Structure 1
Amino acid sequence: MPAAEVDIDIALVQRLLEDQHRDLLGLPLSLVANGWDNVLVRLGKDLAVRLPRHSAAAVLVANEIEWLPLITPGLPLPVPEPVRVGGPTDYYPFGWTVVPWFEGHPAGAGDPIDTTVAAETLGGFVAALHRLAPMDAPLNPWRGGPLEDRDDLTMKRLRAVQPLLVDGGVSPPALADAWRRAVETPRWDGAALWLHGDLHPMNIVASGGYLAAVIDFGDITSGDPATDLLGAWSLFGSADRAVFRSAAASLNDPIDDDTWQRGRGWAVTHSLAILSDADSPAPLRTCALRALREASTA
């Protein structure tokens, strides 16, 4: 996990609100998460304050501030479009946001969900999101590009986590074969489409057995739509994966076999990155292992 460049606590959030959004003072504050990039503090019942921990994360928050209002219309699930924006100060150097609070739990942890309904819902979300992106959409060297650019690093990670794979019921040779087939699949040659960039089950909120929101658009970028298909392997089995594929194509051209194969490749490379990081939380590692099991057998 990157080192924090600033200490963030309730007192800091209280001070920021007092200086920039005084009408929100008086709402109770509680620390919810101290993540890889951001600290999340719940504000009252319906809001949360999202504060970058380091300068790289501040760039991601700036992207959300600029672009989320443009892509939110037409999406079938709520997303954390900022309702307030805060600026840097002499005691906190980054921009920050106040966003909606979504009740529930990550789709990859907590109470069971109806996976068939979830597959259709998430597929519909992906279809609605994957619209033509403008030329000045945010750049992200880690998302949306050719899988072969990630080949060496992915294979290095696969070798490094082989004991974890075996313990988790994943065949390393079968996984390597799935990755190789994805890398050898023709590149995306269509227009660059909007991408969430990190659409794994811990960034999908569920409530009452159904999907309720999609969060954390820090990796928002444009490029190959296969990037956003990784949830098909980390959240669903084969039958529900077919439901997802059909729903994800319903508003756009059908998802062709090459794009689907690259989507499996994204599930592999993304999940291996999670497993190779000792700071990855246990629920996220569980989702990653499931994705690798599914990807190596599907």
Structure 2
Amino acid sequence: MSLAPLPRIIIEPLVRAALAEDFGLAGDITSAAVIPSDHRSTVVMAARQPGVVAGLDAAELAFQLVDPAITLKRHLPDGAVVEPGSVIATIKGPSRGLLSAERTALNFLGHLSGIATVTAGIVAAIRDTKAAVVCTRKTTPGLRAVEKYAVRAGGGMNHRFALHDAVLIKDNHVAIAGGVSEAIHRAKTSVGHMVKIEVEVDTLDQLHEAMGEGIDAVLLDNMTPDQLREAVSIVAGRAITEASGRVTPMTAPDIAASGVDLISVGWLTHSAPVLDIGLDFIEAAGRNAAPLRRTAQAFLSL
């Protein structure tokens, strides 16, 4: 399945907010003081470690919003696998704008590529099973749409986007409602026919109770592979089965082998390390090219 880009209307407010945070009340005073206004440069955006690319739309928009004269040519798309030295894009334009936008662009690209990379690692670990990897709502405030997009770039799938997407009855809901059956009954009498209902269970007894009420999906929380296999047998295809808890690239194969449909992993979005991507200076045109080459190289490494 091809990776559909996010609409600009979703990405632009995030990039504008990030640029505004960086520019403050006076803009990039360093580049304004050091770089002549008519100076132009060419840089390449390159990977410094292996991974999967995600976030090029946000990165490109950061440059364009700072200076529309900047152009970015992509050599690889989001979802592409990169090795150290892989050139992702070439960027040309006024040097001041390049230096002013580079950190915001790299912040988005490195963060989202990091999410795509760890997602791809889990996906690869379970490639021989039917299970799919999904993310959760454990996202950076304000960045949920782009972080969930990065999961898709890494070959994963998305769980619900927000509280209004679907009903997910968790342990605290059950405790307050007075039981699994009562919580499901209340949900069914309150939401419309288009809304899916999923229930989190910690034990096989709870699973039996939930399945007796008829639900769309069941979240099997912190169960062992043996318990998961038994749970899949109990469900017998009557609902989507989702495993969560203690998922790593090492544990994922055994979890997936139990026969579950989905494996949800919160740390894909809340703890993925940044993928190291840098801007490497290629050439400087115009006056004072030699000293400016050294200046640009110094700034682009920050």
Normalised-by-shorter TM-score class = under 0.3
Report the structure, 1 or 2, having the larger strand content. 2
